[in-house]
A and B are shown apart, each in its own frame.
Chain A
Amino acid sequence: MIRTFARQAALLLALALLPAIVSGVVQLRWNAAEPLAPGEVKAATVREWGAKVQWVDARPRDKFAAGHIEGALLLNEDEWTKLVPAFLDAWDPDHPIVVYCDGGNCEASHRVAQRIREELKIGNVHVLKGGLPTWSAK
């Protein structure tokens, strides 16, 4: 009887493998081919800038506390008013700002970057394409 369970389960798992491979390849190519959106920058480009970057973390506070890019400032939409003064105190006009969030299809970094440009009138602002996972995967 256990063989019946195992045989049927193995068949289903094997059937799932082919579409998974096709889907994975298609999605990887989709992501690789996706052009940079306005204001986005790749991790490789930011590494070329070296240490002269001001990182901004657009995620919730508890995710920031759990781990963030070294030197990053927390500036998220939930605590915008409270966090802006500290951000402005630390901001150096000579350093480009790079905003990141969780990656995947996370939009928080784009929204925070937009607010920095529009509300704080700071122009040299970029969004890290792929978010924190792409930087952590170096």
Chain B
Amino acid sequence: MVGKVILLAMRVALAWTFLHAGVLKIWDFAHARPATPDFVVAIQQYRILPSPDLAVLLAVYLPWVEIFAALGLLLRPVRLGAATIISALMTIFIIALSSAWMRGLRIECGCFGRDGAPTDYLALLLRDLCLLAAVVILLVRDWHARQPKDRMMFGDSGRFTLP
């Protein structure tokens, strides 16, 4: 019971985090204006993409991926897919941050819109590793949750039988 409550809390917290991150990359509430231009600049600061056009495409699409993946975490039919997307995103973010850190770039993360503060790489990487660990736990849990149905249908013999 306690385990289920903890998992539910993790799921809701992760969903809220990514929903929040996605929305803030689309709209700058503090200044009542689109936040996409700031996100384009944030992506370009990492100096990973070969073309400015790719940065614009990513800045437009990525926030909506975050939003739909966040909502998907809360919907049973697409939980696995949502957790997969978020795991992939966190892995990419960790690699991008690590790359920027190794190259000595002084940038803004761009993770939750523009905050004007230079990136504290260590804190961000630790945070992202924790988020990745949490979503992997959910992924494994959701994957295992599908197993009992299979055992019911296939039985101990491994042959398909009607329930």
Contact = CB atoms under 8 A, between A and B. Distances in A.
Interface in A65-114: 66, 102-106
B61 A20 contact: yes
Nearest to A9: B81
Interface string B6-35: 000000000000000000001010010111
B37 interface: yes
Interface residues of B, number: 39
Q: Which secondary structure dominates chain B's binding surface?
A: helix
Contacts, number: 102
A65 B79 CA distance: 46
B78 A12 contact: yes
B39 to A, nearest CB: 8
Contact of A105 (B69, B81, B85, B114): B114
B64 A8 contact: no
Contact of B81 (A10, A26, A66, A104): A10
A20 B64 contact: yes
Contacts of A137: 52
B106 A105 contact: no
Contact of B82 (A12, A27, A60): A12
Contact of B41 (A17, A23, A27, A133): A133
B98 interface: no
A11 B64 contact: no
Contacts of B85: 9, 12-13
B80 interface: yes
B60 A27 contact: yes
B65 A105 contact: no
Interface of B: 26, 28, 31, 33-42, 44-45, 52, 56, 60-61, 63-65, 67-69, 72, 77-82, 84-85, 105-106, 114, 143, 146
Given A8-B72, A11-B78, A104-B41, 4 more contacts: A4-B81, A23-B60, A62-B106, A66-B105
Interface of A: 1, 4-13, 15-17, 19-21, 23-24, 26-27, 30-31, 60, 62-63, 66, 102-106, 131, 133, 136-137
